[in-house]
Structure 1
Amino acid sequence: MAQKLTFQTLKQHLDASADILRGDIDASEFRQPIMTLLFLRRLSDQFIENAEKLEKKHPKEIAWNDADYHDFFIPEKARWKKIQDASENIGEVINKVSEIIEHENPSLVGVFTNTDYNDKKRFPDDTLLEMIEHFGKYNLANSNLENEDIFGQAYEHLLERFADSAGKTAGEFFTPREVVQLLVELLEPEDGDKICDPTCGSGGMLIWSAKFVKEKGGNPKNLVLHGQERNYGNFGMCRMNIILHGIQGTRIEHENVLRHPLLLDKRGSLLKYDKVIANYPFSQNWNEKDYASKDSWNRFTFGIPSAKKRADFAFIQHMYSILNDKGKAAIISSQGTLFRGGSEYEIRKAFIEMDHIESIISLPANLFYATGIPACVIILNKNKPKKEKQNPFRICCKRV
């Protein structure tokens, strides 16, 4: 019996693929081509395995050509062999295969085509040929795996490994696993909750929320998991990450959430959630003052941040505005939001007077990749227990 592919073997395999890319592109960019080729191979292998099983029970035409019988439909011209057989213009072939797969599977739109692999300066043919040969080593269908969770673990491994190399760019999408787990445990998501991360990056907050519910005996399929992400590359990677973790029924939108929130109901109103969880980009440029004063969703009722590089309270107010009447939010914020003056003082005062701040947790310094900005967790609760009303408390964490 052939040995099953383990996470440890897959991790070493992905690390070796990074060595192939070294020199052509920056380490901060390794994640995208590695995960794209891994996912293309995975989809192709699993489709073939599923079609072969179906062919034992159904006509060949149905097994191989009926999309309704497959989680993801991969036509022959978009399977791994098409990439493997290419000898020149490899990036063009990868692009074309990616377009076909996204066309056949609307849920994958943006997952592959957010990077141009036909850019020969970044992805020369000889490098791509070596990468394809490398990824041809293992069959990634379910029957060859120790378990299906290894792909989600592999994605997290790549994020963590190259977060330092990615500098500030990584700081926008990668939150250390321990911090993600802390936020989820503070929120305690429950079976049936509607959960949103409006600055979702790689999707880790949503994924760990689903894991938490499952570990507590709930069914993650009963959750509503929504997110929005401004960076198109991160948007595609987020959706890939969620799929690789086997999580279904999510809705991830691509746009600047402060300017264009897209998680709306049929009337165009903001959707409301039981839980909101997020690590927004600290001190992001804030050039929306005139726009915010005319905000169609009335999100900035406590005040409009005036400082150009301090959108912090714009994000926090958006998250507050999408909580339902009993909703709770766990938000990673810079500690500057706790003491800065001006309009931020007035916004902070309004939050305190509303008595919807449950607690504030100071986090250790240098906890996040690419920034030494002191951070904290702000817990908002529109349904505070009676004993905690008018009594927000603060905790200082020396270690996480």
Structure 2
Amino acid sequence: MGKELNSKLYGAADNLRSKMDASEYKNYLLGLIFYKYLSDKLLLEVVEQAGESIEDYPTQTEQTELYKSLLEDEDTRDDLIETLEDILNYVIAPEYLFNVLTAQAKANTFQLNDLKKAFANLSNTYDQFIGLFDDVDLSSRKLGNDEQQQNITITEVLKKLDDIDVLGHEGDVIGDAYEFLIGQFASEAGKKAGEFYTPAEVSVMMARIAAIGQEDKKLFSVYDPTMGSGSLMLHIRDYINHPDNVKYHGQELNTTTFNLAKMNLILHGVDKEDMNLRNGDTLNKDWPTNEPYTFDSVVMNPPYSAKWSADATFLDDARFNRYGKLAPKSKADFAFLLHGFYHLKDTGTMAIVLPHGVLFRGAAEGVIRKKLLEDGSIDAVIGMPANLFFGTSIPTTVIILKKNKTTRDVLFIDASREFEKGKNQNKLSNENIDKIVETYKERKNIDKYSHVATFDEIKENDYNLNIPRYVDTFEEEEPVDMEKVGQELKEIREEKKKLNSELESMIRSLTYSKEDEAWIKGALEVFSDDK
């Protein structure tokens, strides 16, 4: 299913690739896939509400005709609209359905203005869609010099996207499409993708750990202050027993990516009252400040070693004022960590991905790290394999933090050597993830893999958390058998002597002209020197 989605996205991108930068056409494709999802989902709900079987209305053309007939009937119209808005939180008129617009595209009667109206209707009628389609600029001259050319471009894209089964796609269709597009086309654009997408298997590992001991909570809250596409938050519900009772709180600086996260949550069936999302700068101004502002789980994959203001006034900020120093201007890693930790409940668990430098760098970062260790806040340090993340090949570490620990020991796991090698990126297998999670649960020492370090050990290491100080992965080399090596050298010399002798005999037996005499003589001298 993944390969099929990717090939269709690649085909649709063909119509945009020559016209604009990859970071721009990504937004068109994701916006249109999202709109297709809303449209296709509505049609299935119409069949359901009509009390009909999908077997009797297998095609979208038949589903659309059913929808029209129900809307034309005064007895069913109002009830149907009210029910759809109650269940889906939106309604799309039949003439603006994705399949209807696509049918027009195939018949070359599609009008760009209808798609513009479709987007405007959703954005103007329902709060959750405000701004979501802003990045799909259907009037952009990049689509064509005039409306006719723009119309032709979008017509071709609609035709290519039409047969993507967005409802039947196993997994996270927006997340999968997003990952494919930034991975496939960023190099094409001649620059790195600015987004940081957390690979699904890393998200799964973090979510599983963050849920441990909290699985039975009737109400569960998750917070991601650097939420990207929102996928990291969404994995939590797979590992708790009341997945429909999760409240999602997230913040994202990049407006385009913020809109993507909103799409992703809507697409995963999250009700608007269960999402509290903000487009803003996580570090410069604390959020959320109103209740609730602490959460059962905090999960984060912030931009690595980003710059921030590190203004002295932040020393009075409740997020940072307990630690004596601020994260340096050139490396905001600890600022992100402390922000997330501040918003963690006393009973909660936090998981954050950061570069290894946070484990051992000195100066202000050393002061902050020491305070966290003295408080017993750092629960585990997990070393991840290199080249897991798109856009950076560096190895990363996942740090687990807690507020309710009774000891100050730290579990170190070196998972850096256990992965599946991929063509462009490495991956964690299910077995790799299981081993990390089970080792975390059991908190035990495994030779060359994990070690529970006491606070005294860490103190002796001057609060340096570099994983090799605690997990020895050194492999003893096999002792060299010198007698065997000597014997092999002797055999090689004998073989060489034999081959030289055969080659010399062959050259002596050659018939050669006067002009080749000097070359033959020189070759034979080589053999005489070698004896």
TM-score (norm 2): 0.64
Alpha-carbon displacement from aligned partner over 1:77-113 (angstroms, at most 9, x marks no partner) = 7544468758899666544432320222212223222
8 A Cα contact 1:258 1:315, kept in partner: yes
Q: Residue 371 of structure 1: which of 363, 385, 392 is its match?
A: 392
> Corresponding residue for 1:59?
75
> Corresponding residue for 2:298?
276
> Corresponding residue for 1:38?
33
1:230-379 matches, cutoff 5 A: 230-248=253-271, 249-265=274-290, 271-295=293-317, 297-305=318-326, 307-379=328-400
Q: Distance in 1 between matches of 2:399 and 2:198?
A: 16
Q: Secondary structure at the match of 1:121?
A: helix
Distance 1:348 1:69, change over 3 A: closer
Structure 1 residue 14 displacement after superposition: 2.9
8 A Cα contact 1:287 1:308, kept in partner: yes
Q: Distance in 1 between matches of 2:221 and 2:248?
A: 6
Distance 1:13 1:306, change over 3 A: closer
Q: Residue 157 of structure 1: which of 176, 193, 201 is its match?
A: 176
What's the % identity of the aligned pairs?
A: 28
Structure 1 residue 60 displacement after superposition: 3.8
8 A Cα contact 1:300 1:314, kept in partner: no
> Corresponding residue for 1:193?
220
Q: Distance in 2 between matches of 1:324 and 1:226?
A: 14
Q: Specify the code of the residue in structure 2 equivalent to 1:184.
A: A
Q: Specify the code of the residue in structure 2 equivalent to 1:166.
A: A
Q: Residue 212 of structure 1: which of 232, 239, 242 is its match?
A: 239
8 A Cα contact 1:91 1:116, kept in partner: no
Structure 1 residue 285 displacement after superposition: 1.1
Q: Secondary structure at the match of 2:399?
A: strand
Q: Distance in 2 between matches of 1:63 and 1:377?
A: 50
8 A Cα contact 1:173 1:234, kept in partner: no
> Corresponding residue for 1:178?
201
Structure 2 portions without partners, runs of 5+: 51-69, 419-427, 429-531
Q: Specify the code of the residue in structure 2 equivalent to 1:47.
A: L
Q: Distance in 1 between matches of 2:345 and 2:134?
A: 36
Is residue 229 from structure 1 mapped to residue 252 from structure 2 by the alignment?
A: yes
Is residue 390 from structure 1 mapped to residue 416 from structure 2 by the alignment?
A: no
Q: Distance in 1 between matches of 2:327 and 2:299?
A: 25
Q: Secondary structure at the match of 2:277?
A: strand
1:118-137 matches, cutoff 5 A: 118-122=139-143, 125=150, 126-137=152-163
Q: Distance in 2 between matches of 1:314 and 1:242?
A: 27
Structure with greater helix share of residues: 2
Structure 1 residue 300 displacement after superposition: 4.1
Q: Distance in 1 between matches of 2:210 and 2:255?
A: 28
Structure 1 residue 350 displacement after superposition: 0.7
Structure 1 residue 298 displacement after superposition: 4.1
Structure 1 residue 9 displacement after superposition: 5.0
Structure 1 residue 360 displacement after superposition: 0.7
Distance 1:153 1:8, change over 3 A: farther
Distance 1:110 1:294, change over 3 A: farther
> Corresponding residue for 1:166?
186
Q: Distance in 2 between matches of 1:340 and 1:292?
A: 21
Q: Larger deviation: 346-355 or 157-166?
A: 157-166
Structure 1 residue 58 displacement after superposition: 7.7
Q: Specify the code of the residue in structure 1 equivalent to 2:411.
A: F
1:141-156 matches, cutoff 5 A: 148=167, 150=169, 152-156=171-175
Q: Secondary structure at the match of 1:161?
A: helix
8 A Cα contact 1:99 1:113, kept in partner: no
8 A Cα contact 2:101 2:110, kept in partner: no
Structure 1 residue 277 displacement after superposition: 0.8
Structure 1 residue 49 displacement after superposition: 4.8
Q: Secondary structure at the match of 2:195?
A: helix
Q: Distance in 2 between matches of 1:58 and 1:329?
A: 53
Structure 1 portions without partners, runs of 5+: 1-5
Structure 1 residue 10 displacement after superposition: 4.7
Q: Distance in 2 between matches of 1:373 and 1:178?
A: 17
Q: Secondary structure at the match of 1:99?
A: helix
8 A Cα contact 1:207 1:247, kept in partner: no
Q: Distance in 1 between matches of 2:162 and 2:177?
A: 19
8 A Cα contact 2:28 2:135, kept in partner: no
TM-score (norm 1): 0.83
Alpha-carbon displacement from aligned partner over 1:332-364 (angstroms, at most 9, x marks no partner) = 011111111211111111101111111111112
Q: Secondary structure at the match of 2:296?
A: strand
Q: Secondary structure at the match of 2:132?
A: coil
Distance 1:134 1:10, change over 3 A: same
Is the radius of gyration larger for structure 1 or structure 2? 2
8 A Cα contact 1:102 1:108, kept in partner: yes
8 A Cα contact 2:356 2:395, kept in partner: yes
Distance 1:149 1:235, change over 3 A: farther
Distance 1:161 1:49, change over 3 A: closer
Q: Secondary structure at the match of 2:228?
A: coil
Q: Specify the code of the residue in structure 1 equivalent to 2:337.
A: I
Q: Specify the code of the residue in structure 1 equivalent to 2:78.
A: I
How many residue pairs get aligned? The number is: 377
8 A Cα contact 1:73 1:104, kept in partner: no
The RMSD of aligned alpha carbons is 3.1
Q: Specify the code of the residue in structure 1 equivalent to 2:254.
A: N
